[in-house]
Amino acid sequence: MPQTIHKILIANRGEIACRIIHSAKKLGIKTMAVYSEVDRTSKHVLLADEAICIGPAPAAASYLNSKKLIQIAIANHVDAIHPGYGFLSENSTFAKDVTAAGICFIGPTPKAIERMGDKITAKNTVSQFEVPLIPGSSHAISSAQEAQKLAEKMGYPVLIKASAGGGGKGMRIVHEKAELPSAFERAQSEAANAFGDPSVFIEKFITKPRHIEIQILGDLHGNVVYLFERECSIQRRHQKVIEEAPAAISQDLRSKMGKAAVEVAKACQYHGAGTVEFIVDEHEDFYFLEMNTRLQVEHPVTEFITGVDLVEAQIRVAEGLPLSIKQEDLQIKGHAIEARVYAEDPFNQFLPDVGALDKYEIPKGDGIRVDDGYLEGMEIPVHYDPLIAKLICYGADRKQAIERMDNAINKYIIEGVATTLSFCQFVMNHPVFVSEIYDTNFVGNYFDPDQLSNPTDEELEVAAIFANFWFDKQKNKSTILQNTSSKWQNRGI
């Protein structure tokens, strides 16, 4: 039964809270922000129609205080709660409690969150459909001895992963038998600390993986569409820094992955915006990795190439309305790249560098979008993720998108904290990135801040040649990448 949402409480902070406010205002929906004591003057607080302090700075006492969030929502006659991403966005208990309080949860059902939130349960659910899975355990591993037996059966290297979480926490790559016991113990410990659950599982490690994800959108009437893919292989510490859409894949692979993602969504009766993540190897074989039952940080690149406002779509689905688009209506138009601007020092192992934004000026112009949560003079708190903003650039093609990103980074002024902007510009100018022939090993293979230098004219010429290669020459790419990688590794870059 459709219900009209008049007022949304945003159970989050920073740029995603601002992003949700933007779409809500466009729809004529009032917004209520919550904030911790340290976020009192934050941008999302200034933009919202109403704002209420949720508690002291630590997340556990503020943004993760689910009972207080619901109490505030009830007291202020809120129709719906949007969790954004992070914090409580994939907490099935929170979704259940919100619904029980008679408030609309803008997201999937608690059951869908439970089934896809646990990686082992997700793999077992997906295994019932024709969706490729990486070889690995179908249950939590109880001991290092059990892990060793499975590893020897699969062959090294293997990957130990936390069952309850992501973002690189509770994850260890094991290259040989002697490394496994200590890696297993560290993974369990980190998983317990990060997610309150020490469960880990083991799977075969793909040595040259590409991380490609499919954006899906479902409604309460059983309709599901996929909004194409995002390439998310530029990562540090198993966490994304740069994403782009579309990826350099064939139309055949795009179709297969899209259909597989729809199968995954239907397997858990999913509604709302979600992302099905895959690993793609150098032979174009793809494997289900996980499903994120929420909006993704990198959703703007999909919005650019499809013209779909994903937050607006989430709200409309939550109201009970059917999707306004069909699969045949969707087309890829142009190219978009997102650079995450973190308060991190890329020249010091990407460690956080929090402080005040002494000077803050964002770039503007055609095809440039900045989703941020800060204004000049504001402090980057130590209590939360150090993401300052997302810089998104769109072009008629990939070449124009890269050029716009490079120019936009030059115009982005941030003083007071170190940021990842210099790293992002390094990526934009690197021949391997320009060539589209890269994988998740990019940072380890090419980024050495101690020997960082600008490409020579000769190298830029090579990059230009690479940029003209299209994916129908895929059979040549492995050789090209191998030769290029050797050249740049010999330079120490």
When divided into structural domains, the chain yields a total of 3
Judge whether 217 lies within some domain.
Answer: yes
Same domain, 316 and 351: yes
- CA torsion angle 172 175 180 184 (round to 10): 10
Contact residues for 233 (Cβ-Cβ < 8 A; gap 6+)? 209, 210, 211, 212, 438, 439, 440, 442
Instruction: Output the six-digit token pair for 123.
Output: 């793999």
Judge whether 126 lies within some domain.
Answer: no
Same domain, 472 and 344: yes
The residue segments making up the domain with residue 323 are 210-487
- pLDDT (0 to 100) of residue 466: 46
Cα within 13 Å of Cα(127), Cβ side: 13
Cα within 13 Å of Cα(391), Cβ side: 32
Is the bond preceding residue 246 a cis peptide, omega within 30 degrees?
yes
Judge whether 120 lies within some domain.
Answer: no
CATH of residue 46's domain is 3.40.50.20
Looking at 204, 227, 244, the residue that finishes a domain is 204
Q: Which residue has the tokens 């004591």?
A: 37
Residue 470 pairs in a beta bridge with none
What is d(CA 302, CA 79) in angstroms, rounded to the nearest whole number?
A: 28
- pLDDT (0 to 100) of residue 449: 82
- pLDDT (0 to 100) of residue 452: 53
Same domain, 228 and 88: no
- pLDDT (0 to 100) of residue 461: 53
Q: Which residues are catalytic?
A: 294
Instruction: Output the six-digit token pair for 104.
Output: 């609309």
Q: Please state the pTM of the whole predicted model.
A: 0.85
- pLDDT (0 to 100) of residue 167: 66
Judge whether 130 lies within some domain.
Answer: no
The residue ranges of the chain whose pLDDT is under 70 are 1-2, 166-167, 451-493
- CA torsion angle 141 143 149 151 (round to 10): 60
Same domain, 29 and 164: no
Same domain, 219 and 338: yes
Same domain, 338 and 410: yes
- pLDDT (0 to 100) of residue 248: 97
CATH of residue 178's domain is 3.30.1490.20
Same domain, 165 and 244: no
CATH of residue 250's domain is 3.30.470.20
Same domain, 214 and 197: no
Neighbour-count burial of 221, counting CB atoms closer than 10 A to its CB (0-12 exposed, 13-18 middle, 19+ buried): exposed
Judge whether 129 lies within some domain.
Answer: no
**Positive or negative, the Cα torsion across 368, 248, 217, 137?**
negative
Same domain, 237 and 269: yes
The pLDDT tens digits of the residues spanning 91-149 come to 999 999 999 999 999 999 999 999 998 878 888 888 888 889 988 888 889 899 999 99
Same domain, 71 and 139: no
Beta strands in 269-358 (DSSP E): 272-280, 286-292, 335-342, 344-345, 351-352
What is d(CA 462, CA 434) in angstroms, rounded to the nearest whole number?
A: 10
- pLDDT (0 to 100) of residue 93: 97
Contact residues for 167 (Cβ-Cβ < 8 A; gap 6+)? 238, 239
DSSP result, 173-232? EE-SGGGHHHHHHHHHHHHHHHHS---EEEEEPPSS-EEEEEEEEE-TTS-EEEEEEEEE
